[in-house]
C-alpha cells in the first residue's frame, strides 16, 4: 500500500521560511516523479512544483518561482519543499503527490498524502 506522509507545516510570519517533508513507502520511490500541490482555505487545487525521479527535471509554478525549492532524497524515500519569503497567500494545505507512471513526467496523480497545513500570519 502506497503511503505518503507530509510533515513540517505550521505557523510562520510573512517573510519567514518553512521546510516541508514527505515520507514515502509502499512503492519504489526512485522510479516516480513527485509533486507538491496546495489548497488554500475554501479554495481549489493549485500545483506548486514537480521533480522527476532522478531530480534532473524540476519545475515550479510562477507563483512560487524563486521562493520555493523542491528536492528529494531517494536513499531516504523522501521529498522536500523549502519555502522561503513566505506570503499570506501561500497559506494552504500542502499535499505530497505521486505520479502514476514509472519514469514518466507529466501523466496523472494516483496517490496523495493527507497534507500538512501552512499558515502565514503576523
Could you list the residues that contact other proteins (CB under 8 A)?
A: 35, 37, 44-47, 50, 57, 59, 61-62, 95, 100, 105-110, 112-115
CA 9 to chain centre: 11
**What is the DSSP code (8-state) at residue 42?**
T
Distance CA 97, CA 47 (A): 10
Based on CB atoms, which residue is closest to other proteins, 16 or 47?
A: 47
**Closer CB to other proteins, 66 or 75, in the complex:** 66
CB of 122 to other proteins, least distance (A): 28
Least distance CB 102 / other proteins (angstroms): 15
- Sequence-separated (6 or more) residues with CB below 8 Å from residue 122: 13, 14
State the Cα angle at 65 between 13 and 70, rounded to 5°: 85
Residue with smaller CB distance to other proteins, 11 or 101 = 101
Amino acid at each position: 500500500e502506497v503511503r505518503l506522509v507530509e510533515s513540517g507545516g505550521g505557523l510562520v510570519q510573512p517573510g519567514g521560511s518553512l521546510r516541508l517533508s514527505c515520507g514515502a513507502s509502499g512503492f519504489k520511490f526512485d522510479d516516480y516523479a513527485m509533486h507538491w500541490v496546495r489548497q488554500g482555505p475554501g479554495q481549489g487545487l493549485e500545483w506548486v512544483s514537480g521533480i522527476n525521479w532522478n531530480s534532473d527535471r524540476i519545475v515550479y509554478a510562477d507563483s512560487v518561482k524563486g521562493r520555493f525549492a523542491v528536492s528529494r532524497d531517494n536513499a531516504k524515500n523522501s521529498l522536500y519543499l523549502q519555502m522561503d519569503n513566505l506570503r499570506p497567500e501561500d497559506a494552504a494545505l500542502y499535499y505530497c503527490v505521486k505520479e502514476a507512471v514509472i519514469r514518466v513526467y507529466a501523466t496523472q496523480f494516483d496517490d496523495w498524502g493527507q497534507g500538512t497545513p501552512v499558515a502565514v500570519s503576523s
